[in-house]
Copies of this chain bind each other. A is one copy, B any other.
Amino acid sequence: MPPFRRPADIIRGVLLLSRTIHFNAAHRLWNPARDAEWNHATFGLAASETGYGHNYALELSVRGEPDPETGMIVNLTDLDRLLREEVDRPLDHRHLNREVPEFALEVPTAENLASWIWRKVEARLGREGWPCTLASLVLTVTPSFSVELAAPPSATSRAGMD
């Protein structure tokens, strides 16, 4: 087997692989611990009792080194299965407040939904034991609004590349 040069040997950079998926969900911005007046003043139309919805786009990035034999950080077939099971199945075609237990009390804002996804994906990546770590996720809610959650520098350095 020829000695493949690992790019990391040469450029010593940070390599990320990103996958984007789409899911559709309804939600309502409402904090059940506060009264109606507070909720309507805080969330406006988004406090609507029946809820409304979004096409969410999720771009998830993992960090790692390409495997010297496959040239891949992770096989997309595997990553797609993880995203289908951890993100698409519990969230797609759901009403977040009513069908996702954590959002019975927590307000399903983009910020909190991003955190929810991070916890699920990071835990599953840990169980899989793949040689990559969760680096960031961008959750796009409308064409002009998104949130991003990124691993802090200390966490990403666990990937051992810098």
Contact = CB atoms under 8 A, between A and B. Distances in A.
Judged by DSSP, the binding face of A is mixed
Nearest to A110: B17
Given A71-B106, A161-B152, A11 B115 contact: yes
A118 B9 CA distance: 13
A46 B93 contact: yes
Nearest to A102: B5
Contacts of A12: 152, 155
Interface of A: 1-2, 4-5, 7, 10-22, 24-27, 29, 31, 33-34, 42-46, 48, 50-55, 61, 66, 69-73, 75-77, 92-95, 98-99, 105-112, 114-115, 118-119, 122, 141-155, 161-162
Given A50-B95, A51-B51, 20 more contacts: A1-B34, A5-B106, A7-B114, A7-B115, A11-B149, A13-B150, A13-B152, A14-B152, A17-B147, A18-B147, A18-B148, A24-B142, A25-B52, A48-B93, A48-B99, A52-B93, A66-B109, A71-B112, A153-B153, A154-B162
Contact of A22 (B11, B71, B142): B142
